[in-house]
Amino acid sequence: MASQKNNNFALEMKDVEPELAKELMKYFTGEHTGFVRVGPKGYFLPHKYRQEAANIYNMPIRPDDIFVASYPRSGTTWTQELVWMVANDLDYAKSDAIPLTERYPFLEFSVYVHPVMKERFTEENSDSDRKLKLLEQVTEAGTEQLARIPSPRFVKTHLPMSLLPPKLLDTSKVVYVARDPRDVVVSFYHLNRLIRTQGYIGDFKTYWNFFIKDLHHWTPYFEHIKEAWDCRHHPNMLFLFYEELCRDLPTSVRRVAKFLNKQFSEEQIAKLCEHLSIENFKNNKSVNYDVMRELGILIPGEQGFIRKGKAGGWRDYFDEEMMQQADRWMEENLQGTDFRFPHLADKLV
């Protein structure tokens, strides 16, 4: 039965046209082979995804698994820490002692580490056995990491619901967080400059155009969100908005607690909100990807993994043409749906 699934899944993948892939790789210097489009919606992923697609789609799910899913830079790390703290009865000591990357294997991260880049990182860290061991850990296939981890497991993914195991929601819990795509693209632009597995070297406007034309990782953005939105009434799905986390974190904490069948006092909630405040979060080594910096996967001198943590910062990056373009793009993609960002509820989008 599994092989049948695998075959069907493989048939839904096609390579991005060689000339287009070559053009994109001039800008995304961490990719050296090309890209694929996956499934009927054409999700855009690195070529290496071909190796892991079936393993991810068919991975065994456990009833006490908790997935935190999102399009990248939608408040994922913030949501991960919130969910983990609630699920683990506010264990601050353990949270501080174990990096978030260890608490949450990143399901598809290995797909983004091209063999050329892996070899480069290996050479750069060859003077330290400890670093080489760390490198093997962070680049190991997520499904292999997760198979060894005792329950309960916490999983981070940016894959859309349709590329995750089909029985996921009927088996375990998923917390999905969405964010205004204009803020997403600004934050993702900075991460793509920061992280060498992406290695973006173009300007912001070029990056924006790749994003809205679905020529960037994990796009199409709105299809990604709409797939999760359509599942929002499932008892095992909690759909959050980044803007609501920013505006009223205590209410979001209560929603997560209810979803995970936990109860806390107002004092405990206030303490957790302080722990999650953006200033504390930016200085929290457990969540700031220090391992990636130590291994040289993050470029020295670029902004940290946790940036400003505010909503609406996109206005500092968009010119008038891009603002109008964004309005049209959002309107077109939300036409005929009941999805609305809460901070834009009074508008068409």
- Can 216 be counted among the known catalytic residues? no
* Residue ranges for the chain with pLDDT beneath 50: 1-7, 10-11, 305-307, 346, 348-349
Task: Report the pLDDT value the prediction gives residue 47, as an integer from 0 to 100.
Answer: 96
Distance CA 326, CA 334 (A): 12
Fold of 59-336: Rossmann fold (3.40.50)
Q: Return all residues near 283 (Cβ < 8 A) that are at least 6 apart.
A: none
Phi, psi for residue 16 in degrees, rounded to 5: -70, 140
pLDDT score for 5: 45
Question: What residue has token string 């959002």?
Answer: 330
Active-site option among 47, 158, 217, 224: 158
Q: Rounded distance, CA 280 to CA 34, Å?
A: 39
Are 224 and 49 in contact, with CB atoms under 8 Å apart?
A: no
Q: What is the DSSP string of 263-317?
A: ---HHHHHHHHHHHSHHHHHT-TTTTTHHHHHTT-BPTTSPPSS----SSGGGGT
CA dihedral 310, 311, 312, 316 (to 10 degrees): 20
- The residue ranges of every structural domain in the chain are 59-336
pTM check: above 0.85: yes
Separation between Cα atoms, residue 121 and residue 124, nearest integer Å:
5
Q: How far apart are the first and last CA of the chain?
A: 43
pLDDT of 283: 67
Residues in the chain: 349
Q: What is the pLDDT of residue 302?
A: 54
- Calculate the alpha carbon distances from 269 to 69, 237, 249, 272 in Å: 23, 22, 9, 5
Beta bridge partners of 237: 174
SS3 149: coil
DSSP per residue, 80-148? HHHHHHHHTTS-HHHHHHS-HHHHS-BTTGGGGS-HHHHHHHHHHTTT-HHHHHHHHHHHS-HHHHHHH
List the structure tokens of 1: 């039965």
Question: For position 239, what pLDDT does the model report?
Answer: 98
Pairing of strands 43-46, 237-241: unpaired
pLDDT tens digits for 196-235? 999 999 999 999 999 999 999 999 999 999 999 999 999 9
- Residue 95 sits at the vertex; the CA angle it makes with 92 and 96, to the nearest 5 degrees, is 85
The 10s digit of each residue's pLDDT in 270-283 is 999 999 987 777 76
Helix (H) or strand (E) holding 76: helix 76-87
Q: Hey, what's the torsion of the CAs at 293, 296, 297, 300, to 10 degrees? A: 70
What 3-state DSSP class applies to 177? strand
DSSP 13: E
